Amino acid sequence: MAKDCSDFSQLLHDLVVAVVQEDASVQNIDGALDVIAEDLPSVTRDDIVDSIVEVLESRKKAVVDVKRRLAAIKREARTNKNLDATGKELANAITEGRLPIETAKKKTEQPNAIKVLRGQVADLKAHLKKTEPAQVQRLTEQVAALDAKLKRMQKTGELPQSGERFDIPRKSAEHLKLASEKKLLQQRIDRHVGRLRPRSIFGQVVSELHNLTKSITTSVDISGFGRQGGIQLAMHPIRTAKAFPTMIRALATKKGSRKAFDDIQELEDYDLAVRHSIFFSDPDGDVTLGEENIRSEWSRHIPIISHSNRAYTAILNQVRMDSFSALLRAFPPDPSVDQTAALDNLADFVNVTTGRGSLGSLEKNAPLLNAAFFSPRWISSRFQFIFGKNLWQGPGKKETRRLLLAEYGRYLAGKAIFLWLAAQLGDFIVEDDPNSSDFLKLKEKNGNTRYDVVEGLSQTAVLISRAISGKTKSSVSGEVRSLSGSGSRDLGEVVFDFTRSKFSPLHGAAWDIIARQNVVGETTTVKSVAKSLVTPLSTREVVQSVMEHGIPRATADTMVSMLGVGVQTYGQDSKRNKRRILR
């Protein structure tokens, strides 16, 4: 036996064994210690414990070592025998002028019951790989592996440390690629985790109907160009207009939609954009990870609606990518500042200007908000743009403020020139009172049609102005009223009306039925509400526009509405309207 324990431990162990064998009253370590202490008072209980453990471990190692050596000897003997037999067979084959006889390996025939069980186990393992927990675990491991690879490459100096600027494509390409893959995988994990909670068939149908009504009301148009992309269009009209053909190709075919997104992914700034949280929507990906108002799986299989959704996704992806790349080129490199925070702020600005605002502390409640409201991130983006969130709030604001102020200047100048030209050259006036719901809208001088050309910012600005001034102005009579006066609406009603106008289609419909009128005061019935749920926003004003202006003008208004301009016509005298229909 290998002597891995000390002599003292071996002697003390043997002494304990002898005491136990001679004295039947010794039942435990303390009993053995009492007997041994009579002759060896310096021995302690710990000495006995240590000696026993040390001897047992030594014997265990010895047994394992013996088994290992015996196994090696047996293996050597079998190998020797097999080699001898093989050598003899080869020698005989050479002498006799033939090929050696191949000895087939013996196969043990397994009972049918075992075969069936093995098949069942294989099927269960294959099914297990497809379950949600297995997918989450697999994706989590991939994210951890990517994260470890990033840290390892940063530690070895192959890639720059976090906080350094990543605008040198060739040097940082691999780092950016890994980072973007990690971010996309993390998004998929978040989605899979959200799916772990089972939902009933009824719950799934209700959720899909809720999303489908959103998709229907935003379909039959290409409004992403002039509404969600309207701010960027005003800032950089030529650059944004270049994305229009991409939108049309995506509108026409699925292939065009797929190619539009693939082309973006091939751009050198794409991985950097993903790393800094520019929002992109994969046209063939999970709809629940796409734009918040086109998250219906059913809508992908409905003609016209699916076409509109593809165009909407394509134009916003392209505008966001082009805008971020342009800001990246315009941002002056400065090693003394935190480049990561600065680029995060620029990316957030791009998201805000294209209708993808952040929800702040409410981010974790995004699914609930998306169920209650038509487009909560769109609402958030309008407030954030007006208040200049990216100029004053969050990390990176100081480094990017001058650049973003220039962007605001371009927007204000572009809108001012457009409104002035419309007022001077067209038959329009521009409302300049922020307490009026027509603020910054183009109004006909001798008509009843309004055009919202400021991407939904007007409604938000009016709410803020009314809350500050405590006054409201009628868009029909022009009368200015105090929100605190008797017989007039108060601020709470104004805020509620604004909130109600942002409800999702199903929630808004339920409220219209209960209140028996819609948000603008028109009487509603179950039939009219049901009709509104399946009528796209871009076509709702067609009938009223035909009655007011006639078919030619109504056609033009519809086309403008489809591009994202809000068009609203108030009804007037029916006899005059009938005479105008065929003009």
pLDDT by residue for the chain (583 residues), tens only, comes to 344 568 888 888 888 888 888 888 888 988 888 888 888 888 898 888 988 888 888 888 888 888 888 888 988 888 888 888 888 888 888 888 888 777 666 666 777 877 778 888 888 778 777 777 877 788 788 888 888 887 887 777 766 666 554 444 444 556 656 666 666 666 666 655 555 555 566 667 777 887 888 888 888 889 889 999 999 999 999 999 999 999 999 999 999 999 999 999 989 899 899 889 899 998 887 777 788 888 888 888 899 999 999 999 999 999 999 999 999 999 876 666 668 888 999 999 999 999 999 998 888 888 888 888 999 999 999 999 999 999 987 777 888 899 999 999 999 999 999 999 988 887 889 999 999 999 999 998 887 889 999 999 999 999 999 999 999 988 777 788 888 766 677 888 899 999 999 999 888 899 999 988 888 788 889 998 898 888 888 777 776 777 777 888 888 888 888 888 888 887 554 334 433 333 3
**Is the Cβ–Cβ distance between 2 and 62 less than 8 Å?**
yes
Same domain flag for 301 and 352 = yes
Residue 557 and residue 541: Cα distance in Å, rounded? 9
**Is the Cβ–Cβ distance between 324 and 407 less than 8 Å?**
no
Host domain of residue 547: 541-583
Residue type, 270: Y
Q: Is residue 59 part of a domain?
A: yes
Q: Is residue 241 part of a domain?
A: yes
Token code pair at residue 525: 């019935």
Asked which of 178, 198, 218 is the last residue of a domain, the reply is 198
Same domain flag for 317 and 365 = yes
Q: What is the pLDDT of residue 40?
A: 86
Give SS3 for 444.
strand
Q: Is residue 283 part of a domain?
A: yes
Token code pair at residue 49: 């414990």
Residue 350's contacts (CB-CB under 8 Å, 6 or more residues apart) are 278, 320, 323, 324, 327
517 strand-pairing partners: 523
**Is the Cβ–Cβ distance between 296 and 303 less than 8 Å?**
no
Asked which of 181, 198, 215 is the last residue of a domain, the reply is 198
Q: What is the pLDDT of residue 114?
A: 76
| Eight-state DSSP code of residue 101 | P
Helix (H) / strand (E) element for 471: namely strand 471-473
Give SS3 for 567.
strand
Termini Cα distance of the chain: 113
Same domain flag for 187 and 211 = no
Q: What is the pLDDT of residue 210?
A: 79
Residue 507 and residue 216: Cα distance in Å, rounded? 15
Same domain flag for 245 and 346 = yes
Among candidates 344, 330, 349, which has minimal Cα distance to 390? 349
Same domain flag for 408 and 289 = yes
In this structure, the number of other CB atoms found within 10 A of the CB of residue 535 comes to: 14
Q: What is the pLDDT of residue 357?
A: 93
Q: What is the pLDDT of residue 191?
A: 56
pTM: 0.66
One DSSP character per residue, 330-374 reads HSPP-TTS-HHHHHHHHHHHHHHHTT----GGGGGGHHHHHHHBS
Give SS3 for 443.
strand
443 strand-pairing partners: 429, 450
Same domain flag for 172 and 223 = no
Residue type, 289: L
From the number of C-beta atoms within 10 Å of its C-beta (0-12, 13-18, 19+), residue 129 rates as: exposed
Same domain flag for 292 and 244 = yes
Residue 48's contacts (CB-CB under 8 Å, 6 or more residues apart) are 12, 16, 29, 32, 33, 36
Residue 172 and residue 541: Cα distance in Å, rounded? 51
Q: Is residue 516 part of a domain?
A: no
Asked which of 425, 441, 475 is the last residue of a domain, the reply is 425
Residue 83 and residue 100: Cα distance in Å, rounded? 14
Q: What is the pLDDT of residue 2?
A: 42
Same domain flag for 340 and 376 = yes
Q: What are the φ and ψ backbone dihedral angles of 106, each rounded to 5 degrees?
A: -75, 130
Q: Is residue 505 part of a domain?
A: no
Q: How far is CA 214 from CA 170, 297, 498, in A?
A: 42, 12, 18
Q: Is residue 494 part of a domain?
A: no
Q: What is the pLDDT of residue 348?
A: 95
Q: Report how many domains make up the chain.
A: 4
Q: Is residue 485 part of a domain?
A: no
503 strand-pairing partners: 373
Rounded to the nearest 10 degrees, the angle between the axes of helix 7-22 and helix 45-96 is 110
Q: Is residue 530 part of a domain?
A: no
* Location of structure tokens 């939904």: 456
Contacts 24+ apart (CB under 8 A), 294-297: 294/214, 294/215, 294/218, 295/211, 295/214, 295/215, 295/370, 296/208, 296/211, 296/212, 296/214, 296/215, 297/208, 297/211
Length of the chain: 583
Same domain flag for 180 and 209 = no
Same domain flag for 278 and 312 = yes
Same domain flag for 270 and 220 = yes
444 strand-pairing partners: 428
Rounded to the nearest 10 degrees, the angle between the axes of helix 457-469 and helix 491-501 is 170
Q: What is the pLDDT of residue 573?
A: 45
Token code pair at residue 54: 């040390």
Same domain flag for 285 and 384 = yes
Angle at 161 between CA 157 and CA 163, to 5 degrees: 160
Residue 268 and residue 291: Cα distance in Å, rounded? 24
